Amino acid sequence: MSQALPLFIHAKELGQYSYPPDAIFDTRRAEKARELLLSLGLLGGTCGRQAVAVPASVSQLKRFHSARYLDALQQATDGKLTDEQRHMGLGSPDCPVFPDMFDYAAWASGATLVGAEKILSGETHIAFNPSGGFHHAGKEKASGFCYVNDLALACLRFTEKGKRVLYLDIDAHHGDGMQEAFYSSSDVMTISLHESGQTLWPWTGFENEIGQGAGKGFNVNAPLPIGICDEAYLEVFNKIVMPLADAYNPDIFVLQLGMDALAGDLLAHLELTNNAHAEIIQKILDFNKPVLATGGGGYHVDNTVRGWALAWTVMCGLNLENNLDFGMGGAMLQNTDWAGGLHDRVLPKDATHCKSVEAVTHKTIQALIQNVFPYHDVH
């Protein structure tokens, strides 16, 4: 793979639109990550390039979503909902209706599609849209703050060009919209590592959900226990994702980099540091294949911003782990007790808790080895 500089995709419009004030979803996270990177000298020059997003057109959105749904989405912005629109998930607590709803979804999806086109053209091999990652949206369903599924649109764009895609989702919530989109397809292998549906919405994503028809064995779920920390999480990644990626040998990776699996998130119950995300991104890059990455969840804004900034530095090939000249703590990161830059510090773990977590994750690993590996001749 050539050494074309990675692209950070953004537009000012993405920071100007916002969900209603009482919604926990903050559209400004991507802009804040960009500002942090610029302030540290980690965006531009040899640290990748910026690319300007454009909104997705209705015809582009129709590659996954129905015309009926897109019409309903546009008409719902006035707040006068029909029963059909409510049935499509609009006006729910997690998908509130607001004037900029359709425009924001079009811009966020357009940014991801810009990344896909830049990869297909060969202009870059790594593209990152932190404003993307809306993995819950269905063909005719809004869900979990997601109105338009930019990830499905990007994967379909790649498969239209004959590419095999491995979609990896490390958001704390199960990527149910992506599972539904490709459940019967072998063109896209979907792998989701998430907090178990026994304890977290959307209450799906178990080890026995492995696809159907041509897609059987190409849908992989690793439900994880409350309080999982880096070591156990990375064991699941290394024992499940890595061998499957080797066997599937995709042409392109699509990564959903939600940061709500980080300790302290307001909606989930996992205990990761962003060091785990950084290690996973590096291992995916080591396959030497094009990578399209997006944001996703993340409801502790400062932690999410720092996590995405760190993710970008990994994509750019920078190792800041031992370089405190970059991203010192204090007011810049609003983190006065840690001067480790963008990397999270590793906190002491309770040995008893870690053992109980490992017992659960080992069962998940064995179930997936039994349920999925035979379809790929992985031993």
Q: Which residues contact 325 (CB under 8 A, 6 or more apart)?
A: none
Q: Once rounded to an integer, what is the mean pLDDT over residues 284-306? A: 98
Instruction: Classify each residue of 17-36 as buried b or exposed e, where b means 16 or more C-beta atoms within 10 Å of its C-beta.
Output: bebeeeeebbbbbbbbbbeb
**Tens digits of residue pLDDT in 298-333:** 999 999 999 999 999 999 998 766 554 444 332 234
Compute the Cα dihedral for 198, 201, 203, 205 and give only its sign.
negative
Is the model's pLDDT at 352 over the cut of 90? no
* pLDDT score at 379: 80
Which one, of 333, 327, 329, 283, lies nearest residue 303 by Cα? 333
Identify how many contiguous H helices and E strands the chain contains and give both numbers.
Answer: 13, 8
Q: Once rounded to an integer, what is the mean pLDDT over residues 219-234? A: 96
Is the model's pLDDT at 109 over the cut of 50? yes
* pLDDT score at 340: 58
**Does residue 282 contact residue 238 with C-beta atoms inside 8 Å?**
no
Q: Once rounded to an integer, what is the mean pLDDT over residues 48-71? A: 97
Show the domains of the chain with their CATH numbers: 7-376 (3.40.800.20)
- Residue 73 banded pLDDT, cuts 50, 70, 90: very high
Identity of the amino acid at 366: Q
**Does residue 313 contact residue 320 with C-beta atoms inside 8 Å?**
yes
Identity of the amino acid at 49: R
- Residue 337 banded pLDDT, cuts 50, 70, 90: very low
Is the model's pLDDT at 186 over the cut of 70? yes
Q: Once rounded to an integer, what is the mean pLDDT over residues 31-56? A: 95
- Share of the chain residues as helix, strand and coil, in percent rounded to the nearest 5: 40, 15, 45
Which one, of 202, 153, 195, lies nearest residue 171 by Cα? 195
Q: Once rounded to an integer, what is the mean pLDDT over residues 334-345? A: 63
Active-site amino acid positions: 136
